[in-house]
Amino acid sequence: MNGPAAPTTVPDEVRGQTPAPSFGPPRRAGVGGTGGPGLPRKAAASVRRVWHQLTSMRTALLLLFLLALAAVPGSLLPQRSLNPLKVNEYFTDHPSLAPVLDRLSGFDVFGAPWFAAIYLLLFISLIGCLSSRVRWHAKALVGRPPRAPARPSRLAGGQSWDSALTPPEAIEAARAVLRRRRFRVAVAAEGTTRPDGSPDFSMAAEKGYLRETGNLIFHVALVFMLVGVGLGSWFGYQGTVLVIAGDGFANTLVSYDQFSRGRLVDPAGDLHPFSLTMEQFTASYQPNGEPADFRAKVAYASELDGPIRTAEIRVNHPLVIGSAKVYLIGHGYAPHFVLKNSDGGVVWEGYQPCTPRNAMFASTCTLKIGDTGLPATGPTREPQQLAFNGVFTPTTRLDPAEGYVSTHPAANAPGLTLTGYVGNLHINEGVPQNVYSLDTRDMHQLRLDGPIGKDRTAQVLALNNPGQRTVTGLPGGMSLEADGVREFATFQTKSDPFKGWVLAAAVAIIAGLLVSMRVRRRRVWIRARPEVGPDPGTVVDAVTTVEVGGLSRSDMDGFATELQAIADEVRTATADAGRTRPQGSDPAPPSLRALRPTARPADSTEQEL
């Protein structure tokens, strides 16, 4: 990076106002196919005006600001797509505000119609802007650099000198120099004349077309990326499933606990038919309880009757099966419960996953047992179903203030604090229930016997100690034992067939951007004219004035140096002779020149322009 003293840059006025040295596309008149012949003139004109307005840089700027602004509430309000529970909390905390925000899509900002309106407008503007820029750039790519201005030496950093070569020879020599420097060069055809009728000996050279190419690639890639993101959301799906070590799932709609899919996904045919079993789950932690590593050992078959293979799924390392990827996104504990009747016969047994609550994996467990075998009681014949609420603590300690807590996330001393209920769970009534929460409306709390004494509302079990892990005193003389714990993992299956597309667009975005920010577009013009003698009209034999000038579009250093180098080379190539004028032969700025209009008689002809 260079200092603040940036040398020559293109004067904006020159860029914006004149045809020759301007780099911008020609002022667009009537872009696109709007305003067909059938439309009334006025309407066509106003459509065209709106289109112009929309595809202008100023509108793009405004829409970019709007887009940034519109994204802000998405980070301040809880979003359904990220955390639906927080949205529910928000509704509880702000009962009057939340519904209003909800109607304005405040909890779904990035799917909101107004958000879509902004980015769609931006992309329409972009496409409109691009269509003309691409056409214009394509023309520039196959066309010739614009013709030299009358006095190239008057551009910033321009210079002129005398040469003994004839004008065509001088131009040829200059052409060779610029070709060697890989400029695209166009020499004025023989016989071309200037507006005043004098022969035109000039050439125009241009380099750095890649800047605009890169810029266009960047913008086009933006459009492609948006299209890829959109298609991905139509053709993609995702499912989340909780798997206890030893269990598995198949990639079908019904296997998942949660499933969502794009509107063009056919759940019968588009889901890759794999099945997967988690054989083992290992978590390791730092001594202070911070997580170090999680890995799930799985066996899977990628086709219905395909061979079984094994793999390891870790955070950051999903399993790829066809277009689907299986991610490990969470884990936790599932204690094993056995409900026995008074004879010691097993009534129910199973693993119950508990929801982790904190970093030390204290987890909430909810156990619902509908089929207890107990007779219905009372005049309304209420069923005697059992339910337990519990807190599972993998490394259990008794904290004087907070009771039983977990001090480490590994299951070193698994404990369970339980409360029990009996009554009507209202399951099997056709209304779906959250398995992780308990509705105790029609239940009453049990007094439990167990390790910490008799007739308590809560019992504390130590799962590793066979003598301290059974709750007794349940209705009908039943007992509940928590005789072990397994880890579970949460897997997410994701399929987005357009991910590769989006990635390719992202690569193009970066490539285009780098090219457009690094490459300078610059033009160099060289004009030769026969030197005029002291008496106006007499041409001095074989003496030529050579003028060099150039423009660079971007605010970049280095063009001044490059132009100087080019001028030196051209000067050497056209040397042989001549009284070389000092660099910048015309040192006085034009404002001063106005005060001495005819310093040299020759000026009168040089001013032909």
Partner 1 sequence: MPVNSGFASLSDHLLGVTMVVYALAMLGYAAEFAFSRFGRTSGELLAVQHRTVASPAVGVLVAAPDRVPVTVGADATEADASGGGMVGSGPTADPAAVALAASRARSAERVAEQAALAALMAGDGADPPTPTRALWVGRIAVVLTVLGWAAHVGSVTARGLAAGRVPWGNMYEFSSMITLVAVSVYLVMLTRARVRWLGVFVMLPVVLYLGFAGTVLYVAVGPLVPALNSYWLKIHVVAAIAASGVFLVSAVTTVLYLLKDRWENRLAAVAAGRADASAAMRTRGGIMMRLPTAASLDRLTYRVIGFAFPVWTFAVIAGAIWAEAAWGRYWGWDPKETWSFITWVIYAAYLHARATAGWKGRKAAMISLLGFSALFVDYYLVNLVISGLHSYAGVK
Q: Which tokens in the block code for residue 512?
A: 């285009």
* Selected range binding ligand HEM among 54-62, 251-259, 408-416, 438-446, rule: CB under 6 A: 54-62
SS3 for 212?
A: helix
Min dist CB 515 to ligand HEM, Å, is 8
502 binds partner 1 (CB under 8 A): yes
Min dist CB 152 to partner 1, Å, is 8
219 binds ligand HEM (CB under 6 A): yes
What's the rounded Cα separation, in Å, for the pair 463 and 450? 13
Counts of helices then strands in the chain (DSSP H, E): 12, 26
604 binds partner 1 (CB under 8 A): yes
197 burial class (0-12, 13-18, 19+ CB within 10 angstroms)?
exposed
Min dist CB 80 to partner 1, Å, is 11
- The entry of ligand HEM, partner 1, none that residue 125 binds, CB within 5 to 8 Å by partner kind: ligand HEM
Per-residue DSSP letters for 449-507? EETTEEEESEEEEETT-GGG-EEB--GGG-EEEEEEEEEEEEEEEEE-TTHHHHHHHHH
Among 1, 57, 254, 592, binds ligand HEM (CB under 6 A): 57
Give 340's DSSP letter: E
517 binds ligand HEM (CB under 6 A): yes
Q: Return phi, psi of residue 459, to 5°.
A: -125, 150
Among 127, 506, 542, 575, binds partner 1 (CB under 8 A): 506
- The entry of partner 1, ligand HEM, none that residue 75 binds, CB within 5 to 8 Å by partner kind: partner 1
What's the rounded Cα separation, in Å, for the pair 337 and 469? 10
Min dist CB 17 to partner 1, Å, is 6
E strand segments, 196-290: 201-207, 237-244, 248-250, 258-261, 275-285
| Chain residues 171-210 in contact with partner 1, contact rule CB under 8 A | 195-196
Among 55, 213, 389, 574, binds ligand HEM (CB under 6 A): 55
- Beta-carbon-side half-sphere exposure of residue 138 (alpha carbons within 13 Å): 6
- The entry of ligand HEM, partner 1, none that residue 82 binds, CB within 5 to 8 Å by partner kind: partner 1
129 binds ligand HEM (CB under 6 A): yes
Min dist CB 174 to ligand HEM, Å, is 29
Min dist CB 141 to ligand HEM, Å, is 17
Min dist CB 10 to partner 1, Å, is 8
Give 424's DSSP letter: -
Among 53, 65, 465, 577, binds partner 1 (CB under 8 A): 65
What's the rounded Cα separation, in Å, for the pair 452 and 463? 14
- The entry of partner 1, ligand HEM, none that residue 604 binds, CB within 5 to 8 Å by partner kind: partner 1
SS3 for 375?
A: coil
589 binds partner 1 (CB under 8 A): yes
126 binds ligand HEM (CB under 6 A): yes
CB 395 within 8 A of CB 360: yes
With CA atoms as reference, report the closest residue to 334 among 163, 485, 453: 485
Residues interacting with ligand HEM, by CB under 6 A?
55-57, 60, 64, 122, 125-126, 129, 215, 219, 222, 516-517
